[in-house]
């Protein structure tokens, strides 16, 4: 059709010369112009149809290649060669060892947000830890449990968490600078907390106000000053003013 259109345009130019010298009528020129317009329209339609067919063919080719949306290791393959596939059954399962999934209750949902720092203890081992951050939060609870899914991405680390393993997580909700001591040093008498400090090799019992605690340490909000030495061992047998010996 492109060749036909070019030939017709060439003829049109020759006919215009004949028309200029009066060798043909104006209606002859108009007929050729009408033919050119119709062929140009059909040509444009053919080009559009061809481009659509090419695009459809390219889409069909790309649909033959299925790419995983995440990086990871192939954990299982659920199809065989020449087997018909569908969108109901997963063809392969990709294990992403850099992501950890956990669940929280609604009580803690408003305390966390994307990007918060997370301390990760693989298999709950307190002697091994790595860092991560909250990647996304699903604000729609699971129907059966009522819990909210939280996805955490691990930073690059030599520590590995394999599919099916578990980890203990600490989400850093906030940070602040303060004094902390071992919980072993704390004395609780009727709801009032005390510490024994070393004052010139004599035990001095001081009341303190505590803040945030965990399994190992406690925050001291008031009563203790920086660089004061705290008694850890034997505090149960001490009285205020007893001489003590440090090692």
Angle among Cα 230, 235, 237 to the nearest 5 degrees reads 150
Between 182 and 8, where is the model more confident? 182
pLDDT attached to residue 94: 60
Between 95 and 121, where is the model more confident? 121
Rounded CA gap, 225 and 158, in Å? 39
> What is the average pLDDT value for the chain, to the nearest integer?
82
Number of Cβ atoms within 10 Å of the Cβ of 211 = 13
**167 plus 186 within the same structural domain:** no
Asked if residue 197 lies in contact with residue 224, where contact means CB atoms within 8 angstroms, the answer is: yes
**165 plus 190 within the same structural domain:** no
Q: Is 144 exposed, middle or buried (0-12, 13-18, 19+ CB in 10 A)?
A: exposed
Stated as kind and residue range, the H or E segment containing 194 is strand 192-199
**105 plus 166 within the same structural domain:** yes
**140 plus 161 within the same structural domain:** yes
Q: Is residue 72 part of a domain?
A: no
Q: Is residue 194 part of a domain?
A: yes
Query: What mean pLDDT comes out for the span 132-144?
Result: 91
Between 93 and 132, where is the model more confident? 132
- The CATH number of whichever domain residue 116 belongs to comes to 2.40.30.170
Rounded CA gap, 240 and 202, in Å? 8
pLDDT attached to residue 181: 93
| Number of domains composing the chain | 3
**12 plus 59 within the same structural domain:** yes
**50 plus 104 within the same structural domain:** no
**153 plus 124 within the same structural domain:** yes
Q: Residue 208 contacts by C-beta under 8 Å, 6 or more apart in sequence? A: 193, 194, 195, 220, 221, 222, 223, 224
| Per-residue pLDDT reduced to its tens digit, 69-112 | 666 666 567 777 777 776 666 666 665 557 888 999 998 888 89
Q: Which of residues 20, 46, 63 is at a domain's end? A: 63
Q: Is residue 89 part of a domain?
A: no
Tell me which residue has tokens 């106000």.
209
**193 plus 152 within the same structural domain:** no
Q: Is residue 86 part of a domain?
A: no
Lowest mean pLDDT among 87-91, 193-197, 232-236: 87-91
Q: Is residue 210 part of a domain?
A: yes
**194 plus 165 within the same structural domain:** no
What 3-state class would DSSP assign to 129? coil
* Residue 230: domain span: 179-237
**139 plus 195 within the same structural domain:** no
- The CATH number of whichever domain residue 199 belongs to comes to 2.40.420.20
Q: Is residue 9 part of a domain?
A: yes
**35 plus 58 within the same structural domain:** yes
Between 57 and 118, where is the model more confident? 118
Q: Which of residues 10, 43, 63 is at a domain's end? A: 63
pLDDT attached to residue 123: 81
Residue 193: pLDDT band (50, 70, 90) is: very high
Between 11 and 233, where is the model more confident? 233
Answer whether residue 154 shows pLDDT above 80. yes
């Amino acid at each position: 059709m492109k060749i036909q259109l070019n030939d017709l345009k060439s003829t049109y130019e020759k006919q215009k010369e004949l028309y200029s010298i009066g060798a043909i009528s104006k209606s002859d020129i108009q007929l050729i112009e009408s033919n050119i317009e119709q062929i140009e329209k059909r040509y444009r339609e053919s080009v559009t149809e061809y481009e659509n067919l090419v695009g459809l063919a390219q889409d069909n080719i790309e649909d033959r290649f299925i790419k995983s949306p995440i990086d990871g290791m192939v954990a299982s393959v659920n199809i065989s060669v020449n087997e018909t596939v569908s969108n109901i059954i997963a063809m392969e399962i990709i294990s992403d060892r850099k992501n950890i999934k956990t669940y929280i209750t609604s009580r803690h949902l408003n305390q966390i947000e994307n990007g918060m720092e997370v301390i990760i203890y693989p298999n709950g081992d307190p002697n091994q830890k790595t860092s991560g951050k909250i990647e996304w939060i699903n604000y729609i609870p699971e129907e059966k449990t009522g819990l909210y899914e939280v996805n955490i991405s691990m930073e690059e680390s030599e520590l590995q968490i394999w599919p099916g393993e578990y980890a203990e997580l600490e989400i850093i909700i906030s940070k602040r600078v303060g004094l902390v001591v071992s919980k072993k040093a704390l004395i609780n008498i009727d709801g009032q907390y005390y510490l024994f400090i070393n004052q010139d090799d004599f035990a001095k019992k001081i009341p303190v106000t505590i803040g945030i605690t965990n399994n190992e340490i406690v925050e001291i909000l008031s009563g203790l000053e920086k660089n004061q030495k705290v008694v850890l061992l034997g505090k149960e047998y001490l009285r205020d003013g007893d001489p003590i010996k440090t090692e």
